[in-house]
Amino acid sequence: MNINKTLRNLLIVIFLVADVGCDQISKGIVRQRVDYHEQITVIDNFITLTRVDNTGAFLSLGNSLPRTLYKVLMIILPLIVLIFILRYLFKHTEFPLLSVFGISLIVGGGIGNIIDRVIFGSVTDFLYFDFALFHTGIVNWADISVTAGFFILVYEMIVNRKKNEEKVTK
Judge whether 143 counts as a catalytic residue: yes
10 CB-contact burial (10 Å; exposed 0-12 / middle 13-18 / buried 19+): exposed
Torsion, Cα 18 114 58 132, to 10 degrees, reads: -30
Whether 125 is catalytic is yes
Local structure of residue 135 (DSSP, 8 states):
B
Q: How many CB atoms lie within 10 A of CB 79?
A: 15
Strands of the sheet containing 47-54, edge to edge, are 40-43, 47-54, 123-129
Find the catalytic residue in 23, 44, 125, 130.
Answer: 125
CB atoms within 10 A of CB 112: 25
Catalytic hit among 19, 23, 116, 143: 143
* Separation between Cα atoms, residue 25 and residue 29, nearest integer Å: 6
Closest CA to 86 of 148, 151, 19: 19
Q: Which residues are catalytic?
A: 125, 143
